[in-house]
Amino acid sequence: MDITTKNTDAPPPTPQPSVAEQKRAARGATRPGDRIFLGLSRGSGILLLVIMAAIAVFLTYRASLAISKDDVNFFTAFEWNTGLVPPRFGIAVLAFGTVISSIIAMVIAVPIAVAIALFLTHYAPRRLSGPISYVIDLLAAVPSIVYGLWGALILVPNMNGLFGWLDEYLGWTGIFEWQGGAPRSMLTVGILLAIMILPIITNVSREVFRQAPQMIEEAALALGATRWEVIRMAVLPFGRSGVISASMLGLGRALGETMAVATVLSPTFDIQTSLLDPGGGTFAQNIASKFGEATEMGRDALIASGLVLFVITLLVNGAARAIIARRKEYSGANA
């Protein structure tokens, strides 16, 4: 109740003046400075909300313009022809491709990232872990178009072997069937995305594992646990929410990745049942490749597809927060 009735001009409640505040009080500059700072920070906070609201209103407005003219179902249509009268476009292929490529990336990247983080914090000698961490940081700084070029020039031409092997041994599943097309498919994109999101997941996980309570680890060791048992019983449960947060950061990057996907994928507006056949598309890739020649109508349609990506990202983040909230007991505060 107190919070809602708080008066804007009233001095902030100071139940227990901290050391810093006492020092400032001694210098005699408390009130005006505090008030100005309060105003500035509150103003900034409100400004942020206003900007976000303005963007949201603009996007929703333009998207609704486009969707109202759409001749086919926006959510289920397998085509993107905004130049026709009336226009026909739908996001089914894009939503599928975005989710599938991100899932592949996560499946590959998360275990590897966690393994690297554990190695760096619990196995590697200090002299080795420093440089390796630094190199991983550098990986995160490589621009995505560079990954895209590397993917198109090095990764794609060298995927034939893997694709042939998958087709021979796992082709019966239907998911790994290969018709012999150029390997510019969802699996290649997923592998490239996995490499791209590896650094951020590794970095955050490493910091989380490093903060695992030393006392518990030592206690476990004293009781005769092996190093693996220590990791399994003390480090992993402690770091689980952190690893989930890290994975979500990586997933966010994978969902929104644009240039690398546009460079490597062979986008078409149909869904391939096999991960090895070229085709499909993602939201960001589609926006990048269609924006240049798009008419006003086309841009509105692309904005509408961007809104859907935004909503998907929000849902994913919300789900991650819910998972983390349920595991609060493991957070650092209780350790």
Partner 1 sequence: MKLQRMNRRALTLGALVVSGALALTACGSDDTSDGGDNSAAPSAQAGNIKCDDAKGQLLSDGSSAQKNAIDAWVKQFTAACGVQINYKAGGSGAGVTAFTQGQVPFAGSDSALKPDEVEASKKICSGGQGIDLPMVGGPIAVGFNVSGVDKLTLDAPTLAKIFNDKIKNWNDPAIAKLNPGVKLPDLKIQAFHRSDESGTTDNFTKYLIATAKSDFPYEGGKAWQAKGGQSAPQSSGVAAQVKQTNGAIGYFELSYAKEGIKTVALDTGAGTPVEATVDNATKAIADAKVVGTGKDLALELNYATKAEGAYPMVLVTYEIVCDKGNKADTLPATKAFLRYIASEDGQKILAENDYAPIPDSIISKVRTTIEGLS
88 forms beta bridges with 81
Contact of 139 with 116, CB cutoff 8 Å: no
Q: Which amino acid is at 328?
A: K
- Site membership for partner 1, residue 274 (CB under 8 A): no
Stretch near partner 1 under the rule CB under 8 A, chosen from 4-12, 24-32, 77-85, 108-116: 77-85
CB of 278 vs partner 1, minimal distance in Å: 5
Write a three-state SS string for 234-302: HHHHHHHHHHHHHHHHHHHHHHHCCHHHHHHCCCECCCCCCCCCECECCHHHHHHHHHCCCCHHHHHHH
Stretch near partner 1 under the rule CB under 8 A, chosen from 36-44, 48-56, 105-113, 259-267: 259-267
- Site membership for partner 1, residue 112 (CB under 8 A): no
Rule CB under 8 A: which of 135-174 touch partner 1? 137-138, 140-143, 145-146, 157
Q: Determine the Cα angle at 104 with ends 157 and 77, to 5°.
A: 95
One DSSP character per residue, 168-192 reads HHHGGGSTT---S--S-BHHHHHHH
DSSP state of 12: P
- Site membership for partner 1, residue 317 (CB under 8 A): no
Distances (CA, A) of 35 to 5, 15, 76, 160, 240: 18, 17, 54, 66, 41
- Site membership for partner 1, residue 76 (CB under 8 A): no
Q: Which of 91, 117, 196, 204 binds partner 1 (CB under 8 A)?
A: 204
Rounded distance between C-alpha atoms, residue 112 and residue 140, angstroms: 15
Would you say 217 or 277 has its CB closer to partner 1?
A: 277
Would you say 166 or 261 has its CB closer to partner 1?
A: 261
Q: Which amino acid is at 219?
A: A
CB of 203 vs partner 1, minimal distance in Å: 6
Q: How many residues bind partner 1 (CB under 8 A)?
A: 42
Q: Which of 179, 214, 226, 331 binds partner 1 (CB under 8 A)?
A: 179
Would you say 36 or 84 has its CB closer to partner 1?
A: 84
CB of 54 vs partner 1, minimal distance in Å: 23
Would you say 225 or 271 has its CB closer to partner 1?
A: 271
Would you say 30 or 289 has its CB closer to partner 1?
A: 289
DSSP state of 185: B
Q: End-to-end CA distance of the chain, in Å?
A: 32
- Site membership for partner 1, residue 55 (CB under 8 A): no
Would you say 39 or 83 has its CB closer to partner 1?
A: 83
CA–centroid distance for 124 within its chain: 28
Contact of 220 with 233, CB cutoff 8 Å: yes
Q: Which amino acid is at 193?
A: L
- Site membership for partner 1, residue 71 (CB under 8 A): no
Rule CB under 8 A: which of 118-137 touch partner 1? 133-134, 137
- Site residues, partner 1 (CB under 8 A): 79-84, 133-134, 137-138, 140-143, 145-146, 157, 179-182, 184, 203-204, 207, 262-263, 266-270, 278-279, 289-290, 292-296, 298
